[in-house]
């Protein structure tokens, strides 16, 4: 297991992250360049070894209900990998595991970092991540809300929609 100091050194090595000391000796790391409301990448890193990294948009990790992974026993390589994936998933350009819309959609309800999903008839639904919730919109009307990305994607697939990679 990496020491507290080693974990902080790894997090400090990412210039995109801003360190914020919080109560009880814990440290958080924020990504101010996030395209989402979520800005916390590193959460509650503590001298006892605990610490969490946001991976709610990454998809390859078993996360808690808020999208965080406990990285207490991660190796240096594993920790660097999940931090990098977290930053990419929150970036305006999006990451490989969290595809982002490549161009501005035709709907006025979508922004450049929302995902456009289409069906065979050309109908569009918009998947947005806001306030730690995944929302599915039809135009400006809310269709559904989900706690996890997996639930949202399952719903969209069941309804015959796929991610539009325009």
Residue 153: predicted pLDDT: 86
pLDDT of residue 105: 33
CB 73 within 8 A of CB 128: no
Give the per-residue pLDDT at 113.
60
Closest to 90 measured CA to CA, from 132, 50, 125: 132
CA–CA separation, 75 and 5 (whole Å): 14
Pairing mode of beta strands 141-146, 162-163: unpaired
At residue 94, the pLDDT reads: 45
Q: Tokens standing for 85? A: 């994936």
Distance, CA of 114 to CA of 139 (rounded, Å): 12
Spell out the per-residue pLDDT of the chain, length 166, in tens.
899 999 999 999 999 999 999 988 999 999 999 888 889 999 999 999 999 999 998 878 889 989 999 999 999 999 999 999 999 989 886 443 333 333 333 333 455 467 888 888 888 888 888 777 888 888 878 888 888 888 888 888 888 888 764 3
Instruction: Indicate the pTM of the whole model.
Output: 0.58
Three-state secondary structure call for residue 88: helix
Residue 25: alpha-carbon gap to chain centroid: 26
3-state secondary structure of 148: coil
Q: Which two tokens stand for residue 84?
A: 């990098």
Residue 75: how many CB atoms within 10 A of its CB? 11
Which pLDDT belongs to residue 106?
37
Which strand ranges, in their side-by-side order, compose the sheet holding 40-45?
Answer: 17-21, 27-31, 40-45, 52-54, 68-70
């Amino acid at each position: 297991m990496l020491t507290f100091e080693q974990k902080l050194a790894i997090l400090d090595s990412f210039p995109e992250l801003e360190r914020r000391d919080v109560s009880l000796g814990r440290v958080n790391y924020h990504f101010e360049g996030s395209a989402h409301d979520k800005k916390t990448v590193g959460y509650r890193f503590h001298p006892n070894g605990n610490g969490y990294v946001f991976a709610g948009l990454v998809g390859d990790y078993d996360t808690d209900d808020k999208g965080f992974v406990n990285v207490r026993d991660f190796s240096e390589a594993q920790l660097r990998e999940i931090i990098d994936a977290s930053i990419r998933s929150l970036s305006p350009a999006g990451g490989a595991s969290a595809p982002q819309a490549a161009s501005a959609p035709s709907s006025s309800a979508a922004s450049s970092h929302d995902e456009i999903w289409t069906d065979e008839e050309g109908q569009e639904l918009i998947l947005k991540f806001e306030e730690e919730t995944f929302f599915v919109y039809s135009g400006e009307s809310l269709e559904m809300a989900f706690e996890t990305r997996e639930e949202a994607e399952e719903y969209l697939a069941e309804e015959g929609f796929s991610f539009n990679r325009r």
